[in-house]
Amino acid sequence: MVRIPFTRPTLSALEQRYVVEALESGRLSGDGPFTARCRERLEAVFGVPRALLTHSCTAALEMAAILCRVGPGDEVIMPSFTFVSTANAFVLRGATPVFVDIRPDTLNLDARAVAEAITERTRAIVAVHYAGVACEMDELIALAERHGLVLVEDAAQAYGSTYRGRKLGAIGSFGALSFHETKNVISGEGGALLVREEKDVVPAEIIREKGTNRSAFYRGQVDKYTWVDVGSSYLPGELVAACLLAQLERAEDLNKARLVLWDRYHTAFEEGERDGRFRRPIVPDHCCHNGHLYYLLLPSLERRQRLIEGLARQGITAPFHYVPLHSAPAGRRFARHVGDMAVTERTSDTLIRLPLHSGLGDVVEEVIEAVLTLA
Ligand SMILES: *Cc1c(COP(=O)(O)O)cnc(C)c1O
């Protein structure tokens, strides 16, 4: 029986109040008053000209892929150590994901591996900020500029994190956020696309609104709305936006609570790392993270599995991930990889994620004790 789940949403009376308000307003479809308030808040927090709510981060990544104007024959470089949506969004456009290895410290894209994978077919790089810790953005920006590539950020795990003081998600041309129940700030399912350049704002609005210029119509910029480009329906309804607005207003507190718990784990495991029982996460000095995820790297697959099973026997859910995308059936069919994937494969074999959510509280001590006994 699960006694201590891996994650659980932290909800308050505010989410309830806003959702009831939305219900009572009678306006439930997308782009109503709650969506507008979320948008304004995200635009202010991230300093971008447009933040478009979507029904998931997957949807935001699909929009980014359409905005990159990639198609068959084009290549997009990304880590293999990521969630499937990072790759699927581009496969849906007919483009080929090109997987490269990650760095052993932050488990993020290795810029040297990215440089080696660039060909004349490369169109974009997707930076995934694993565990809410930033990729080495200066190196990736330099590569993107030198080769004329679009830089997309998969910031699904990174709400509130920074790189050299800059907010993750607002550094590349496009940033995809997730508000899925497992993330720091949630609305059940939900996401947003951050658009950093003015020139992309109207095209992004059109793609999100079924390929129509409805957004410009509502602003009074055109006198009728019509089908003008490819697109789909990527906007969430108002109930989702109402829940999200409450979470966005509470975001700093939610992240702070996670960071306190993250620090408790980190301090408690210092000695275990010195003894070689596991390795703790590494956060570079120029990166501020959001406490999204606490993981440990065990010395071997067998020891990692033994720890997962031991914790499960005590009712503690501690999952691993990811199955590297380059070795997955669809990854082999739709993508290719360049170079040695040794760090990706070793990480996938040895990483364990510990329960962490802003409401975990002193239960963290139980998990610490169990890990120190079993690892
Ligand atoms: C969670 C996650 C996604 C997908 O987010 P959804 O909102 O569930 O679509 C994409 N990429 C990464 C790295 C994630 O962690």
Q: What is the pLDDT of residues 194-233, one digit of tens each?
A: 999 999 999 999 999 999 999 888 888 988 889 999 999 9
Residue 178 Cα to ligand 1 middle (Å)? 6
Based on DSSP, count helices (H) and strands (E) in the chain, helices before strands: 15, 13
Q: Could you tell which of 83, 126, 193 is best to mutate to test the pocket of ligand 1, judged by most ligand atoms within 8 Å of the CB?
A: 83
53 vs 93: CA distance, rounded Å: 21
Cβ–Cβ < 8 Å for 183, 159: yes
Residue 288 has pLDDT above 90, yes or no: yes
Calculate what percentage of the chain has a pLDDT beyond 90. 97
Phi first, then psi, for residue 19 (nearest 5°) are -65, -40
The beta-strand segments (E) located in 1-121 are 50-54, 75-79, 96-100
* Ligand 1 probe mutation, 85, 193, 234, 292, most atoms within 8 A of CB: 85
Q: Is 0.95 surpassed by the pTM of this model?
A: yes
**What is the structure's pLDDT at 218?**
87
Whether residue 318 is predicted with pLDDT greater than 90 in this model: the reply is: yes
Give the atom of ligand 1 at the shortest distance from the alpha carbon of 190.
Answer: 7
Residues with CB under 6 A from ligand 1: 56-58, 82-83, 85-86, 128, 154, 156-157, 178, 180, 191
Please say whether the beta carbons of 161 and 289 come within 8 A. Answer: yes
- At residue 176 the predicted structure's pLDDT band, cuts being 50, 70 and 90, is very high
Q: Which amino acid belongs to residue 122?
A: T
Mutate to test the pocket of ligand 1, among 56, 178, 356 (most ligand atoms within 8 A of CB): 178
Mean pLDDT across 75-83:
98
Residues of the chain above pLDDT 70, percent: 100
